[in-house]
Amino acid sequence: MAVTGAAGTIGSVVREALRHEATRLILLDRVPLRPQAENEDVHIVDLRDAAAVESALAGADRVLHLGGVPDEAPLPDLLEANVLGTHHVLEAARRTGIERVVLASSNRVTGFYPAGHLTGPQEPARPDGLYGVSKVAVEALGQLYADKFGLSVICLRIGSFEPTPTEPRHLATWLSPRDAVGYIRAALAAPSCTRFATAYAVSANTRRFWKLPDVTELAYVPVDNAEAHAVDVSEDLPADPTAPQAGDGRRGSLGARHRADRALRH
């Protein structure tokens, strides 16, 4: 089993959870990693280097692809890290005979649907920024490799991954660490007959605006609910069901939005 982006926020949690379940756990990231168990095999790899990616993934049977730019950024950066990097992972999987690739997509793929609309993965993409556009391309690559080469690919549209909800939007979008690991385990272990699937990875939030996966396709039922933390989240105004699911359209800091605006202008 291999994990790209293993030093990241989600990658670190998954690494700890999967370490005891894999005979060999191959870990890739651009930053230095140290093995923390005898079965860990670490590689410092830039996902833009196709040969290095293929070499590092040799011998893996499944890949969890978390690596890439995780937020709004100039389009050239997103294309290189997210789209080209994903292509290299999928191509390495095809060339080395890897059975399953789980791709980290994002809820930002459909961020411009209204908050009052319960959105399913089969509805057309409505990205709320350039980051979302890059994840649309990631999913399209996964579909291509499933259709053209028979690779088994599952795309997880990850919600707001946080230890606990910290803002009003999280009451709908929160993905707890426990549920994140549960979804990832289920995606890695889904039947090999699953050729391609897309699912929202979100906790069982009462206010969620994404459909939970069909258990016949992804055998995991989330257990956490952001409502348990609602008393700790400040809500100034009632939720507007006509507002975009992305909130005010900003992802991260105002500076990130400004970077996106510059990318759009240029």
The model's confidence at residue 193, banded by pLDDT at 50, 70 and 90, is confident
Q: Which of 93, 103, 105, 95 is nearest to 61 (CA)?
A: 93
SS3 244: strand
For residue 89, pLDDT beyond 50: yes
Q: Using one digit for the tens of pLDDT, what is the confidence trace for 165-188? A: 999 999 999 999 999 999 999 999
d(CA 133, CA 73): 11
> In the predicted model, what is the mean pLDDT of the chain?
92
Phi/psi at 144 (5° precision): -60, -45
Q: Using one digit for the tens of pLDDT, what is the confidence trace for 35-80? A: 999 999 999 999 999 999 999 999 999 999 999 999 999 999 999 9
d(CA 113, CA 124): 10
The DSSP call for residue 65 is E
Question: Total structural domains in the chain?
Answer: 1
Q: What average pLDDT does this structure show over 93-112?
A: 97
Higher confidence at residue 30 or residue 262? 30
d(CA 43, CA 24): 13
The CATH number assigned to the domain holding 65 equals 3.40.50.720
Q: Clarify whether 113 is annotated catalytic.
A: no
Domain of 27, in residue numbers = 2-265
Q: Which of 145, 222, 157, 153 is nearest to 190 (CA)?
A: 153
For residue 252, pLDDT beyond 60: no
What residues are paired with 43 via a beta bridge? 28
- Percentages helix, strand, coil for the chain (3-state, rounded to 5) are 40, 15, 45
Pick the catalytic residue: 113, 131, 145, 220? 131
Q: Using one digit for the tens of pLDDT, what is the confidence trace for 105-136? A: 999 999 999 999 999 999 999 999 999 999 99
Whole-structure pTM value: 0.92
